[in-house]
Every structure is written in structure tokens, then in C-alpha cells.
Chain A
Amino acid sequence: AQTVTQSQPEMSVQEAETVTLSCTYDTSESDYYLFWYKQPPSRQMILVIRQEAYKQQNATENRFSVNFQKAAKSFSLKISDSQLGDAAMYFCAYRSTSNFGNEKLTFGTGTRLTIIP
């Protein structure tokens, strides 16, 4: 079974600075998807960025980018020019590409990000 580990329960960053959230995972599969989701306080989970394991190029979405290290099974999220609205719980998630019996997302325990004004 796949597992996802987020070793930083809490992180904080000054507004306008850059922060990196860590995620590692364990799998025996060669192809899969990885996601970062954001869950603001009392609000619904929002997809931030995704990475397909067969793509070597790191995904980027505006101020959000990932550092995907397949051999190390590492998938970190970098947030540049941090804004107050970035304050949230961030979850790393794994999904197999297999279409039979592996449709679920496996989540880490999350990192709570605080933005310091």
C-alpha cells in the first residue's frame, strides 16, 4: 500500500517570502499522480498543483511550484511571494494511475502554514 508522509506539522513564513513544504511517499509503482491540496480554515479543499510521475519537468502554477524527485520519492511544494491568503493546511496526496482498485487519493497528515504579516 502507498503511504504519504509530511514531516512538518507546522510552518510559518513572512509575507512576500518563499516557503517550501516537504512530502515523501512510498510506492512500488512506476507511474502515478501526485497532488498538493490546500484547505483554508473552515473552507473546502482546493487543488493547488499536480504532477504526473512520467513527466520529468516540475509542475508550476503561478506562485506555486514543485520539486519532484522520483528516485528519492520526494515531492515538495514551493510557495513564492507568500500572501496572507496562502494561510491554510496543505495536504500532499498520491494516486495510482491504475484504474482498478486504486482510484482513491492517499493523503499525508498535512502541514499548517501560517503567514506572518
Chain B
Amino acid sequence: DTGVSQDPRHKITKRGQNVTFRCDPISEHNRLYWYRQTLGQGPEFLTYFQNEAQLEKSRLLSDRFSAERPKGSFSTLEIQRTEQGDSAMYLCASSFDRGPYEQYFGPGTRLTVT
């Protein structure tokens, strides 16, 4: 296992379209996190999973956003009716569920909404 992978790496879409991103965590990790990073800022937490259960969602995660981790392995993040404000880098990370909870990040999916 070589680390966290994300697909696609880049996505350009038109406003109003739906997009879906995929994250494959490190296989031994049972926790999976989604963050959003805008230009010049640090990542901001969106949501996280313990196995297949979504345990926490940020207020940043509007109703247009939905995330799943159906079998406790890979996860998908879907954005419906995209808006220009959704343009950002979407980062996925994974970790064990015990200290020190180091999170390992994927390369991210850069979304551009035109």
C-alpha cells in the first residue's frame, strides 16, 4: 500500500453540475477524513468516517454535499448543483482510531467551477 489516493486529480465543471470525488485510504486505517482547502488557506474539516459510519460533519458541509463510505474502505464525496464558491482543493486523509491519530493525506482533487 503506497498511501492515500484520490481520483480525479483535477475536475473542471460548469456551475450547476454534479461532481463526485473518490478517496482510497491506507488499507489498515479505519478513519477517513475530508477537508477543503482554498488558495492561501489551511485545510478546513468537512467530515469524517469511522469505518462506514459518518460520525461528524462540519457546518461547512451544506445540504449540497454528501459523503459515503459504504464498505468502510473507499469514500466518495459528491457535490450537487456546484457553485463557483465550491472551487477548492478537496483533500482526503486517513488514520488509525488510536493515538497519536496521525493523519496521512492524499494528493487532493482540485475542483474548478466555471
Residues of A bordering B, CB below 8 Å? 4, 33, 35, 37, 43-47, 50, 52, 91, 93, 95, 97, 99, 101, 103-110
Contacts and interface: CB of A to CB of B under 8 A. Distances in A.
A4 B4 CA distance: 25
A93 B105 CA distance: 13
B100 A52 contact: yes
B99 A109 contact: no
Contacts, number: 58
Given A44-B106, A52-B100, A95-B101, A109 B42 contact: yes
Given A45-B91, A45-B105, A107 B44 contact: yes
Contact of A105 (B41, B45, B56, B99): B45
A107 B36 CA distance: 11
B105 A103 contact: no
B107 interface: yes
A45 B35 CA distance: 12
B52 to A, nearest CB: 16
B contact residues, range:
20 to 34
For the complex of A and B, the 10 pairs showing the least CB-CB separation, nearest first, are A107-B42, A104-B45, A45-B105, A44-B107, A91-B42, A107-B43, A44-B105, A109-B42, A33-B100, A110-B42
10 contacts: A37-B105, A45-B43, A47-B104, A52-B99, A93-B42, A95-B101, A105-B43, A105-B93, A107-B42, A108-B42
B33 to A, nearest CB: 7
A105 to B, nearest CB: 6
A36 B107 CA distance: 17
